[in-house]
């Protein structure tokens, strides 16, 4: 079955870069997503990457995908206090299909 793993916690200083890592086991994963969840709220889609891509950049966010190692990372440049949240990576085999989520990484940005 599918399995998605993330580290539990990341602490970073305001203005520094944050890197959140994720590994997955399903080699047929085609779409990989990063979602942000603030306290008591739903999930906000941040970005996604197709499995045939190595990198995708969107403003402060950079996604790197190592398909061989099944490793996905999200880099947040110039991290702000508003970036404090839980970040989930997720994968699906086909677009819009059911998502398998990692356990979430809680990011704390210190001033």
Partner 1 sequence: GAVVSQHPSRVICKSGTSVKIECRSLDFQATTMFWYRQFPKQSLMLMATSNEGSKATYEQGVEKDKFLINHASLTLSTLTVTSAHPEDSSFYICSARDNRGGRTDTQYFGPGTRLTVL
Summarize as ranges the residues that interact with partner 1 (CB under 8 A).
31, 33, 35, 40-45, 48, 88, 94-96, 98-104
- Residue closer to partner 1 (CB basis): 76 or 102: 102
Give the shortest CB-86-to-partner 1 separation in angstroms.
9
Give the shortest CB-15-to-partner 1 separation in angstroms.
28
Question: Which tokens is 66 given?
Answer: 């190592």
Give the shortest CB-34-to-partner 1 separation in angstroms.
12
């Amino acid at each position: 079955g599918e399995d998605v793993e993330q580290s539990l916690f990341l602490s970073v200083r305001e203005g520094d870069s944050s890197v959140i890592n994720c590994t997955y086991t399903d080699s047929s994963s085609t779409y990989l997503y990063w979602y942000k969840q603030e306290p008591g709220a739903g999930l906000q889609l941040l970005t996604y990457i197709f499995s045939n891509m190595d990198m995708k950049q969107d403003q402060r966010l950079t996604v790197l995908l190592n398909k061989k190692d099944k490793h996905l990372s999200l880099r947040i440049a110039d991290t702000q206090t508003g970036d404090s949240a839980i970040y989930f990576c997720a994968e699906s085999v086909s677009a819009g299909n059911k998502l398998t989520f990692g356990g979430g990484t809680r990011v704390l940005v210190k001033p």
